[in-house]
Amino acid sequence: MKAGIFITGTDTDAGKTVVSAGLALVLRDRGMKVGVMKPVATGCYGADERLISQDAAFLMEAAQNEYPPLTSPSRYRNPLSPNVAAMLEKREVDVPAILKSYQQLQKHYDFMIVEGIGGLMVPLKKDYYVANLIRDMGLPIVIVTYAGLGAINHTLLTVDAAMIRGIEVRGIIFNRVSVTNYSLAELTNPKVIHDLSGVPVLGSLPDIQGLNLENCQFGKLKDIFRERIQIDKIVGPNTYQPEQSGGWGRPSHPS
């Protein structure tokens, strides 16, 4: 299988789209042909037969991709959990179609960036979660979280959920980190999370000047991403592998 990464988060609005787009911009700048995918999206807009995912459109613009139907194969209007949106709109999430779209996209690109919806335990359909999709795609993950109060619990829960399911965690990225007037929690939480989980911290992103998802404007995202994120640990050889038995394992290279 070709190389790729699945960008997940500790919650909705953690910053998965910004991280996915930033990675796409930087890898394109390196000369790589990068594919992006938003397999399941809710809260879409437009006509029912041609719903548009704002996140998918932003990613496609960042990567300069074609193949919109493959990039965003499962779209729903209601801004709800996919299983609930699917029930209300009477269209079950078609997992085989998503996996087929992913396999088709792999043929056209050197590296795939797949953005999840919500966190690992968001249900896509009965007894099938985002974590199941990650396993079926065979991808490692990067976890996007925040640094403020509550981050320790939410991030460790996400790491634990991944490890129990045998999902490889490449690292953690903190998003919307204050660069001035930061709180004591923001100052201390990244190190605490690393020390407790053993998962590498790959960097942090502040609010990006000029960034606008609605208008597909990236502002200084590419330059800031390049400066502040350890990109080679995302796309390079495995830097972290969960132990098969689950529980807290430690990487051979923790930072």
CA distance to 70, 74, 91, per residue, from 43 (Å): 18, 12, 15
The type of residue at 57 is: A
Please give the biggest Cα pair distance in the chain: 50
Q: Give the count of beta carbons closer than 10 Å to the beta carbon of residue 252.
A: 9
Q: Which position among 38, 125, 126, 233 bears the catalytic label?
A: 38
- Residue 234 to residue 61: CA distance in whole angstroms: 21
CB 133 within 8 A of CB 165: no
90 is annotated as an active-site residue: no
CB 97 within 8 A of CB 108: no
With a CB cutoff of 8 Å and minimum separation 6, the contacts of 107 are none
Residues classed as catalytic? 38
